[in-house]
Chain A
């Protein structure tokens, strides 16, 4: 089973994504409400995927992405951003993010990204 770490400051979003993932046979090994927790959890849990909210208090998703990539350049991180925040996504993509999802997250979209990543 593929392991996923969910990073989002909103507990509701974490909860909803966890449900979607578990329904589709992914194992959610960790949930982090902020960037620094995410980095610690990544190092400890070594998930196959990370979903990363961009707008978070303290260390934002982009900074967290960079930190995780420093530790593990092969980390697969899916950035999650809200509609209308193109600029954040651009910044993330320019910082090395490859995958991203736009909120509100739909189950089919989330699963498509993950299965496409697994395929390649």
Chain B
């Protein structure tokens, strides 16, 4: 993408996000504060300017219309302001702009027509002016007019120190589309200050009336003055006028030849230059200097750091070094390790982004949905400042949105029902994030009606999802059915949820980043959905294990415990399925050597190791030869040529170990689902 467009999209999206936040906040407060009005005005102003440069003219026009409202509100501070309608207006405009930006991002033309929205905006402003007792007229800023008032209304003139002898008449026309010709004319006569004796011009109301710009556009700007300077000098001077299209300069013999020279000569005082004494507020502006960097560059950097960590291990753990007495070498190696660890932490921290942006977006969803569903709900955000890797954020934004929608649609009841149940009619949804080791935990808690176990079970039965006796299912297992495709217990399909698509996608997205979902619910009291997300996708802590001659790595997040099994705890059912008893509970066993067809691996349970791994659905035991050790690993995708040959199952990626060998990273969720 063109870097200019990229920048435009980035900045405009950022502005729109901020706009949405401010607007929703002020709607909540029931009023726009002075600062908020200023911010909205500025955002619209910026969007107007940038979109005009990108030639998205409908966006420009719409931003201009909204800007006008906030300009009026800022200057006139109207007493009666319909905040709710204005919020709708601003949000609709933001949506329109967002859609257009998305189109541009996709390489399409931003060609939607905003006329309806603009019309709505204009009529809102008109009404606003009328209800606040103002005749519908152009609003003007109070311009400091002292300098103008000192000169006679129709003419201005300056006195030259030398005796003025020559009379010149000039007509200046400006280039098309240079805008504000009247003010340009003013700067022109300002430039002549000190060089001319008496000066008159037409149109004469250049500063007072912006309409004069149109007259200048049509007829040019006429000036006539006396001066001691010669023709050539004046010609050069006037030719320096910026955006000059044409200059007609004539020398007159007498001022009487000029049609707009006043009959009676008026001598004027020199315009005193306005002394500018403006106290600039001393404020502490702490702008952390920021730069924006393309994410792909960060990805490359992260990759390189990963390579560095591996090569460092390859050097320090090199088999050639075995048996040698290398005190100094190891001293230097330790230093290297320390620095590369710091480098790794540094690069990781660059990629970390607070969740606040994603969280704030949810405000809008709750607002729009509660309005449409006639429900009342408040969204509480906790721990917005929690940081996660940029890539991870991109993957969890949609699932979060979906979960919030579900909470509001299915969880929170109508106000009447809530009152009947003795609850606050205003429902509460809490979105909470916190750090726990290498994971981020996000809880979505609502105080609604909770999940209906019986209905979920019934639906699951209809969809033939039950894999054991109905009575054997634990609550957790039943709740996890809501993530199965095609399972929606809501009879009524609403605009927002209830089609049963979505929850399975939520699960898929979260699994894709190596995360986990846990559902808890209490009938009548509410539900809590917990997402466990790894801090970063690029480097994880893994346990490397050995099966035969092969190495595998299991993300430490999924491991519950590992132990040497004793044969007494192994059970085999009549179908030959192996199971293990752990503290009175029975879990299935998956032999890794069997699913990966590895010859020469340990087959007797008492000679190998059992690793208990956990997913949101269940816990199983993975049987391997031995544990090699826990270490930070750099996740690499499986190369395309291997992926294409065979559908790799149960493997999410691979990594290089310190000795240079390759280890496959096990996809625990995949293994549990398949075996």
B190 touching A105, Cβ below 8 Å: no
A11 touching B287, Cβ below 8 Å: no
Query: Of residues 170 to 202 in B, which have CB atoms within 8 Å of A's CB atoms?
Result: 177-180, 182-184, 186-187, 190-191
Report A7-19 CB contacts with B as 1/0, cut-off 8 Å.
0011111011001
Report A65-79 CB contacts with B as 1/0, cut-off 8 Å.
011011000000000
A86 touching B183, Cβ below 8 Å: yes
B283 an interface residue at 8 Å Cβ cutoff? yes
Q: How far is the CA of A57 from the CA of B18 in the complex (A)?
A: 14
Quick check: which of A21-29, A43-51, A89-97 contacts chain B, the rest being far away? A89-97
Q: Which residues from chain A contact B143 at a C-beta distance below 8 Å?
A: 87, 90-91, 94
Q: Which residues from chain A contact B12 at a C-beta distance below 8 Å?
A: 12
Q: How far is the CA of A15 from the CA of B210 in the complex (A)?
A: 31
Q: Which residues from chain A contact B240 at a C-beta distance below 8 Å?
A: 116, 119-120
Chain B minimum-CB-distance residue to A120: B240
B274 touching A95, Cβ below 8 Å: yes
Partner of A57, one of B38, B140, B281: B38
| Residues of A in contact, count (CB < 8 Å) | 50
Q: How far is the CA of A44 from the CA of B146 in the complex (A)?
A: 35
Query: Of residues 92 to 107 in A, which have CB atoms within 8 Å of B's CB atoms?
Result: 93-96, 98-100, 102-106
B183 touching A36, Cβ below 8 Å: no
Quick check: which of B43-51, B375-383, B625-633 contacts chain A, the rest being far away? B43-51
With A11-B11, A93-B186 known as contacts, the answer to whether A104 contacts B179 (CB < 8 A) is: no
Q: Which residues from chain B contact A96 at a C-beta distance below 8 Å?
A: 274, 276
| Cβ distance B175 to chain A, nearest Cβ, rounded Å | 8
Q: How far is the CA of A33 from the CA of B143 in the complex (A)?
A: 26
B278 an interface residue at 8 Å Cβ cutoff? yes
Q: Which residues from chain A contact B52 at a C-beta distance below 8 Å?
A: 83, 103-104
Q: How far is the CA of A70 from the CA of B280 in the complex (A)?
A: 12
Partner of B178, one of A10, A19, A69, A109: A109
| Residues of B in contact, count (CB < 8 Å) | 50
Q: How far is the CA of A95 from the CA of B187 in the complex (A)?
A: 11
Q: Which residues from chain B contact A56 at a C-beta distance below 8 Å?
A: 42
| Cβ distance A38 to chain B, nearest Cβ, rounded Å | 11
Query: Of residues 6 to 26 in B, which have CB atoms within 8 Å of A's CB atoms?
Result: 7-8, 10-12
A57 touching B11, Cβ below 8 Å: no
Q: Which residues from chain A contact B140 at a C-beta distance below 8 Å?
A: 87
A16 touching B280, Cβ below 8 Å: no
| Cβ distance B15 to chain A, nearest Cβ, rounded Å | 8
B242 touching A116, Cβ below 8 Å: yes
Q: How far is the CA of A99 from the CA of B48 in the complex (A)?
A: 22
Partner of B49, one of A10, A100, A117, A119: A10
Q: Which residues from chain A contact B48 at a C-beta distance below 8 Å?
A: 82, 103
B276 touching A93, Cβ below 8 Å: no
| Cβ distance B194 to chain A, nearest Cβ, rounded Å | 14
A15 touching B4, Cβ below 8 Å: yes
Q: How far is the CA of A87 from the CA of B389 in the complex (A)?
A: 46
| Cβ distance B343 to chain A, nearest Cβ, rounded Å | 29
A69 touching B276, Cβ below 8 Å: yes
Report B268-305 CB contacts with A as 1/0, cut-off 8 Å.
00000010101011010101000010000000000000
Partner of B280, one of A34, A55, A63, A105: A63
With A15-B7, A63-B278 known as contacts, the answer to whether A58 contacts B285 (CB < 8 A) is: yes
Q: Which residues from chain B contact A95 at a C-beta distance below 8 Å?
A: 274, 276
With A90-B143, A90-B183, A120-B240 known as contacts, the answer to whether A102 contacts B178 (CB < 8 A) is: yes
A100 touching B183, Cβ below 8 Å: yes
With A69-B276, A98-B187, A105-B53 known as contacts, the answer to whether A86 contacts B210 (CB < 8 A) is: yes
Report B138-162 CB contacts with A as 1/0, cut-off 8 Å.
0011011001000000000000000
B180 touching A102, Cβ below 8 Å: yes
B439 an interface residue at 8 Å Cβ cutoff? no
Chain A minimum-CB-distance residue to B208: A90
B39 an interface residue at 8 Å Cβ cutoff? yes
B207 an interface residue at 8 Å Cβ cutoff? yes
B243 an interface residue at 8 Å Cβ cutoff? yes
| Cβ distance A88 to chain B, nearest Cβ, rounded Å | 7
A66 touching B53, Cβ below 8 Å: no
A16-B4, A102-B178, A104-B49 known, 20 other contacts, Cβ within 8 Å: A10-B49, A15-B4, A57-B42, A58-B283, A59-B281, A66-B276, A66-B278, A67-B278, A69-B276, A82-B48, A86-B180, A91-B143, A96-B276, A98-B187, A98-B190, A100-B180, A100-B183, A102-B179, A116-B241, A119-B240
Q: Enumerate 23 A-B pairs (CB-CB under 8 Å) in ascending A order.
A: A10-B11, A12-B7, A12-B50, A15-B4, A34-B287, A37-B285, A70-B276, A83-B52, A86-B183, A86-B213, A89-B183, A91-B141, A93-B186, A93-B190, A96-B276, A98-B187, A99-B187, A100-B180, A100-B183, A100-B187, A103-B52, A104-B49, A104-B52
6 closest A-B pairs by beta carbon, nearest first, are A87-B141, A104-B52, A102-B179, A10-B46, A104-B53, A103-B49
B→A interface (CB under 8 Å): 3-4, 7-8, 10-12, 38-39, 42, 45-46, 48-50, 52-53, 64, 140-141, 143-144, 147, 177-180, 182-184, 186-187, 190-191, 207, 210, 213, 240-243, 274, 276, 278, 280-281, 283, 285, 287, 292
A→B interface (CB under 8 Å): 9-13, 15-16, 19, 33-34, 36-37, 55-59, 63, 66-67, 69-70, 82-84, 86-91, 93-96, 98-100, 102-106, 109, 112-113, 116-117, 119-120
